[in-house]
């Protein structure tokens, strides 16, 4: 079976690499020529553990190829996955322009039966629109399906190879059979439903996870007020098998290319349908407010004024093991601190090239120890393991004032305090 994957971002590239790894012949397409030229040489434009190895191996054995040519990509492909970006518009709703332009380009080359699968995160109304576009440009039978992606950046390859579930949203038996066949090597529960339900499952999953994060962050504020420990509360809460431990890690809130955008899109989609999704708006609001809450903690350490203080931000990426800066919590944190007159020093193991494009007037360092010389405070914004392993005694000697503001509850409070640091974390 020949597969074509449109879009070589995180989802598209991982999808293409994983299907080629499973033994299928896959063509990855992107309209970005320089990206495709790099990929043809096995060079990745994103940082994702394990992905380069998979791409290189499958390029070498000719199961994976890349092109910018729709004719070449669509030719003989029975399954065509659309994995292009769905950016947010100003009002929070999703912008379908890339999904629609990719669909049109595919349809123009389609002269055989194929299943067009939307993997991009889109609201249910998209399926009909995609069908209409294909019908307008192709003279052949086709099916449109939705198989949402649940992979996480930083562990994308592993998530794609060992998915928690495969949701097949489809209205045709023929398309369902093909999709079951192509996923059959993945040991995961299958759920067949309509494309609309599949798409809403994806939004519901991300909205639920975002809700858990905002919930635990709100509980952390209560913990601070009464001197309780949110880590203990989260652990105790998660021991209830109906609740579970995951996504109850308090911190600066959620970022990335998915949770913020998808919650906004769901709120906007609900509004269009005449439903005020106020509940989810509050989830988003708690996430926004978390930065101000953290800054109020920083202020308290310096008797209110931050003007002229040097703060060293360790971690810029939206989470560890990625270079992705999209909606990273470090961005509003740094911008707000700068407005208060703080001088920002920063270090991230891999995200600095991307961060430099976004953050201005920041002094970037190639080493965390250098970034802490003369600093008035260490701020953890992303919980990289590298920061957990730092020599804190060495750091204390280098800093002007031994303050740690731990926005990800990375450290063990008693250990840090024993070393003589003033330690501020979230909810403990
Ligand atoms: C998320 C989902 O976890 C994936 O299942 C989904 O496929 C993906 O979005 C998507 O829609 O494409 P991702 O954005 O890669 O994946 O990152 P997560 O690991 O979910 O983390 C998102 C944010 O939440 C990060 O900023 C992280 O720091 C934060 N987070 C996560 C917390 O603050 N607390 C937690 O307990 C967990």
> pLDDT tens digit string along 334-387?
999 999 999 999 999 999 999 999 999 999 999 999 999 999 999 999 999 999
Q: What backbone phi and psi angles, to 5 degrees, belong to 346?
A: -150, 150
- For position 46, what pLDDT does the model report? 86
Mean pLDDT of 145-162: 95
- For position 271, what pLDDT does the model report? 96
| Catalytic status, residue 428 | no
Q: Is the pLDDT of residue 64 over 90?
A: yes
Cα pseudo-dihedral 176, 181, 186, 189, rounded to 10: 30
Ligand 1 lining (C-beta closer than 6 Å): 121, 149-153, 206, 209, 213, 247-249, 251, 253-256, 258-259, 318-319
**Total-model pTM:** 0.95
Choice among 4, 83, 223, 258 that is catalytic: 258
> How many CB atoms sit inside 10 A of residue 37's CB?
12
209, exposed or middle or buried, with CB in 10 Å at 0-12, 13-18, 19+? middle
Sheet hosting strand 362-364, strand order edge to edge: 362-364, 343-347, 310-314, 377-380, 403-406, 422-425
CB 328 within 8 A of CB 344: no
* CA 371 to chain centroid: 27
Give the contacts of 215 (CB within 8 A, at least 6 positions apart).
none
Q: Is the pLDDT of residue 246 over 90?
A: yes
- Pick from 382, 418, 381, 422: nearest CA to 399: 422
CB 416 within 8 A of CB 404: yes
* Pocket-testing residue among 11, 152, 163, 382, ligand 1, by greatest number of atoms within 8 A of Cβ: 152
Place of tokens 């198989």: 147
Taken as a whole, the chain contains a residue count of 428
Closest residue by Cα to atom 16, ligand 1, is: 152
Closest residue by Cα to atom 18, ligand 1, is: 152
Closest residue by Cα to atom 23, ligand 1, is: 254
Mean pLDDT of 119-137: 95
Closest ligand 1 atom to residue 257 Cα is: 14
CA–CA dist 230, 267 (Å, integer):
29
What percent of the chain has a predicted confidence (pLDDT) above 70? 100
Quick: pLDDT tens for 22-55: 999 999 999 999 999 999 999 998 889 999 999 9
Mean pLDDT of 309-336: 97
Tokens for 280, please give them: 């989810």
CA–CA dist 190, 169 (Å, integer):
11
- For position 370, what pLDDT does the model report? 98
Distance 258 CA to ligand 1 centre (A): 7
Distance 259 CA to ligand 1 centre (A): 7
Closest ligand 1 atom to residue 148 Cα is: 7
Tokens for 293, please give them: 């809450």
- For position 30, what pLDDT does the model report? 97
Closest residue by Cα to atom 10, ligand 1, is: 258
Closest ligand 1 atom to residue 324 Cα is: 15
CA–CA dist 151, 103 (Å, integer):
23
- For position 304, what pLDDT does the model report? 74
Distance 202 CA to ligand 1 centre (A): 13
Closest residue by Cα to atom 25, ligand 1, is: 254
Mean pLDDT of 214-228: 98
């Amino acid at each position: 079976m020949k597969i074509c994957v449109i879009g070589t971002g995180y989802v598209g590239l991982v999808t293409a690499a994983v299907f080629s790894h499973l033994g299928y012949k896959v063509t990855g397409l992107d309209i970005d020529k320089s990206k495709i030229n790099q990929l043809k040489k096995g060079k990745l434009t994103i940082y994702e553990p394990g992905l380069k190895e998979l791409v290189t191996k499958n390029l070498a054995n000719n199961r994976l190829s890349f092109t910018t040519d729709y004719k070449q990509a669509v030719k003989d492909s029975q399954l065509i996955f659309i994995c292009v970006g769905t950016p947010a518009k100003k009002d929070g709703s999703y912008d379908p322009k890339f999904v629609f332009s990719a669909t049109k380009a595919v349809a123009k080359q389609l002269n055989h039966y194929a299943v067009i699968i939307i993997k991009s995160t889109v609201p249910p109304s998209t399926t009909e629109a995609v069908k209409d576009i294909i019908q307008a440009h192709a003279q052949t039978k086709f099916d449109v399906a939705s198989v949402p992606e649940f992979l996480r950046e930083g562990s994308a390859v592993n998530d794609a190879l060992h998915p928690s579930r495969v949701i097949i949203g489809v209205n045709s038996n023929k398309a369902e059979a093909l999709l079951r066949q192509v996923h059959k090597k993945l040991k995961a529960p299958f759920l067949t439903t309509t494309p609309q339900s599949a798409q809403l499952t994806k939004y519901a999953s991300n909205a639920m996870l975002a809700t858990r994060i905002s919930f635990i962050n709100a509980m952390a504020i209560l913990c601070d007020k009464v001197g309780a420990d949110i880590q203990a509360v989260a652990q105790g809460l998660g021991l209830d098998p109906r609740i579970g431990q995951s996504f109850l890690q308090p911190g600066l809130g959620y970022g990335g290319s998915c949770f913020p955008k998808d919650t906004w899109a769901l709120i906007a989609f609900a509004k269009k349908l005449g439903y005020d999704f106020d509940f989810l708006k509050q989830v988003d609001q708690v996430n926004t407010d978390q930065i101000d809450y953290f800054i109020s903690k920083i202020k308290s350490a310096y008797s209110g004024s931050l003007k002229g203080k040097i703060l060293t931000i360790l971690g810029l990426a939206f989470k560890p093991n990625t270079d992705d800066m999209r909606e990273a919590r470090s961005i509003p944190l740094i911008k707000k601190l700068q407005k208060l007159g703080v001088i920002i020093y920063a270090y991230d193991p891999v995200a600095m090239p991307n961060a430099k494009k976004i953050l201005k007037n920041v002094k970037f360092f190639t080493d965390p120890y250098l970034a802490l010389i003369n600093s008035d405070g260490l701020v953890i914004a992303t919980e990289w393991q590298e920061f957990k392993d730092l020599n804190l005694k060495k750091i204390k000697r280098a800093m002007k004032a031994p303050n740690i503001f731990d926005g990800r509850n990375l450290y063990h409070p008693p250990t840090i305090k024993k070393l003589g640091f003033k330690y501020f974390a979230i909810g403990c």
